[in-house]
Structure 1
Amino acid sequence: MDPVTHGLIGATATQSFADKQKLRSLSFIGFISALLPDLDILIGRSADPLLNLEYHRQFSHALLFIPIGALIATGLTWWFVKKRLNFKQTYLFSLLAYSTAGLADTFTSYGVQLLWPFTDERFNWNLISVFDPLFSIVLVLLVGLAFYKRKQLFAWVGLSWMVVYLSFGFSQHQKAQTLAYELADQRGHQVKQLILKPTIANQLLWSLRYVHTDSLYADGVRLLPFTKPKIYKGQSTQLLNWRQKYARFKGSTMYEDIQRFSTLSEDILIAHPEYDNIIGDGRYAMLPTSLSPLWGIKIDTLNPDQHISFKTYREATPSVRTQFKKMLMGN
């Protein structure tokens, strides 16, 4: 989730246990503590672009790191609240807020290494977009009201709102999953790998992607409650057999970087249709029906002993925005 929403969730959690005199102090602790895990975005080296991707949502979001992260948060916040809270109280509420960050990110699509260092598996429920304005705006209002009026009730309403909204996301996910398997069955396809997620900033338009044999298929579906789902059939392309294509470079820095990117992309790699020598992450695109990746790595076979470069392709052109709006509105 975006950093502001993380802070709002952390503040809601601490406000829920606050009395009137301490509510504002606990709001501050909750907001700051829940922001800290995402400072892992600062980890990286320009010479190795994939390092940042590997560390994002890794150790700082892991369950094992929560007590340490909470201690850091306590050190940063206690000096501002020590007139109302002792160090132990500050730590306990920092612990509560810090723990919400990793758990909140599991509801999005990128995944979190909750059980690091025991496993590198990323856990993700794909129930909500990394940025969902409706979800966040309601939390802004409720956290603000709780802070201004010093009333715990608004925090409880905030918790209820999160449960209701994520439950709706779960219901939408289940519908999308059923439709994806039905669509594959109509095509005579066997689903080897399925990726379902809401598109950016909403819960109505979903991206359906699945792997059949050695190909990736992308479709979209609009799921409006009490109406018939509208399916948008999209593109398909072959998965890139990078192990075979770059076999002669095995052992080189370039080959190892492709392997790292493949792991980060759940082995769903495709050739970018618009740019030469770009291996893209087939799970993400600007449109649910598109197989034009949002990001990828540039391969330079003339310099196999150098790290690859990481490229992003997130430009929302007028054409893309128009198509997205049409699908979202059911046109």
Structure 2
Amino acid sequence: MDSLTQIVLGAAVGELALGKKIGNKAILWGAIAGTIPDLDVITKWFFDPVRANELHRGFSHSILFSLLAAPLLGWVLAKLYKNSHATWRDWTLLMFLGLFTHPLLDAFTTWGTQLFWPSPYKVSFKSIFVIDPLYTLPFLLCVVLAMRLKRENPKRRYYAKSGLIISSCYLVLTVAIKGYTYSKFEASLIAQNIEYLDIQTKPTPFNSILWTANVQTADAYHIGYYSIFDRTDTIEFSIIPKNHHLLGASREHPLVERLIKLTEGWYTIDQQEDSLLFNDLRFGQLDFEDPESPFVFSYELYYNDNELHAKEPEKKFRDGYALLKKLFNRMGGI
């Protein structure tokens, strides 16, 4: 999830763990703990885009990292605040909750997270977009209300707990909506006699109302959209050829093998002038109404000195307001 959401979640669990003893310091350090796992973004400064994306949401988002880092950070904070009422165990609990709830929440997003690192398996329920105001804003309000009260006030805990309960209930609701919309996609595919190999569904940006499905067939992908407010169960699917044959002999190159593993096999290939474009289908396109729109994540494959390289192409500016307007109009149903 986005940084603000992780800060709010960390602040809430920090308050519940230690707010009675140290007040807003618990919220502060819970918020900091909630952001620490995402420090793995610094890998972009040291590695190529492929390696950086392979490392993202890896070790720092694992149960093992939380177990190892929490006692160490707890010891540092116990030394820093040695005159407070909190013990090393108290600080360790706070840091563990802040560190662990971060990847736990990330597991519900499309990217997923390696909770069981060093296992390469990524837990990904794909039920919530990385930025969802309906999850974050009520939660944020509750945390702000708690911060404004003195640590002895029992309402602090009430507000923090309420925020956690409301957000968790919404998270469970997104899983239920995912199941409902999945059944709609599946029924529409059957009604249209589309034989498919696999199907993945996920919410579109900033909401849990409009959902999209990537449907894999033998030589193409069918992409469709369904809103819970749609008045028809017939879903139109755009067809995007896989074009995997364009890779040619490069298909066996270790770099391409890594990209295929990174995308979990959900990719298409486009021919450019002197290079190929490797598109990651999992995160959709920049314009959901335009089948020709660029994908959010792509890699340009090119040869330099007889060595295959990959880089992320520069994204062209798009009218964000117009895209959001189309998105919200489509959420209203057809």
Please say whether Structure 1 and Structure 2 have the same fold, judged by a TM-score greater than 0.5. yes
Identity %: 20
Shift of 1:319: 5.0
Distance across 2 between alignment mates of 1:324 and 1:231: 19
Distance in structure 1 (CA, Å) of the matches to 2:69 and 2:325: 43
Choose which of 290, 310, 314 in structure 2 pairs with 1:308.
310
More displaced stretch, 298-307 vs 73-82: 73-82
Distance in 1 of aligned mates of 2:10 and 2:110: 20
* Superposed counterparts of 1:92-111, under 5 Å: 92-111=93-112
Equivalent residue number for residue 173 of structure 2: 168
Tell me by how many angstroms 1:124 deviates: 0.7
Note if contact 2:199-2:213 (Cα within 8 Å) is conserved in structure 1: yes
Identify the residue that residue 260 of structure 1 maps to in structure 2: 258
Give me the whole-angstrom Cα distance separating, in 1, the residues matched to 2:91 and 2:235: 50
Secondary structure of the residue aligned to 1:208 is: strand
DSSP-derived class of the 2:225 partner: strand
Looking at structure 2, the residues matched to 203 and 154 of structure 1 have their Cα atoms a distance apart, in angstroms, of: 25
> Which moved further from structure 2: 16-25 or 131-140?
16-25
- The question of 1:294 aligning with 2:293 is answered no
Question: Using the alignment, how far apart are the partners of 1:286 and 1:274 within structure 2?
Answer: 19
- Pick which of 12-21 and 84-93 moved more: 12-21
Does structure 1 retain, via aligned residues, the 8 Å contact 2:243–2:270? no
User: Is the 1:297–1:310 Cα contact (8 Å) retained in structure 2?
Assistant: yes
Where structure 1 has 5 or more consecutive residues not aligned to the other structure, the ranges are none
The code of the aligned residue for 2:211 comes to: W
Cα distance change of structure 1 residues 218 and 95 upon mapping to structure 2, 3 Å threshold: same
Q: Is the 8 A contact 1:295 1:312 kept in 2?
A: no
Cα 1:303/1:207, change in 2 over 3 Å: farther
Which residue identity is paired with 1:261? L
**Is the CA contact (8 Å cut-off) linking 1:235 and 1:290 kept in structure 2?**
no
Letter in 2 for 1:65: F
Match of 2:136 in 1: 136
* Deviation string, structure 1 residues 64-99 (Cα, Å, up to 9, x no partner): 221223245436655654432233321121011111
1:240 aligned residue: 243
Give the alignment's TM-score, normalised by structure 2.
0.87
Q: How does 1:1-331 map to 2 (within 5 A)?
A: 1-44=1-44, 48-71=48-71, 73-74=73-74, 77-78=77-78, 81-84=81-84, 85-117=86-118, 119-149=119-149, 150=151, 151-224=156-229, 228=231, 233-241=236-244, 244-249=245-250, 255-272=253-270, 277-283=276-282, 284-288=284-288, 290-291=290-291, 292-301=294-303, 303-311=305-313, 313=315, 315-317=317-319, 319-330=322-333
TM-score by length of 1: 0.88
Q: Deviations over 1:195-220 (max 9, x none)?
A: 11111111111111111222101111
Does the 8 Å CA contact 1:29/1:77 hold for their aligned counterparts? no
* Rounded Cα–Cα distance in structure 1 between residues aligned with 2:10 and 2:221: 38
Aligned residue identity for 1:159: L
Structure 1 residues 77 and 290 mapped into 2: Cα distance closer, same or farther (>3 Å)?
A: farther
The secondary structure found in structure 2 opposite 1:308 is strand
Higher mean C-alpha deviation, range 312-321 or range 121-130: 312-321
- Output the aligned Cα RMSD: 2.6
CA positional deviation for 1:267: 0.9
Q: What is the count of residue pairs matched by the alignment?
A: 323
Query: For the Cα contact (< 8 Å) 2:301–2:308, is it kept in 1?
Result: no
Q: Secondary structure at the match of 2:208?
A: coil
Secondary structure of the structure 2 residue equivalent to 1:122: coil
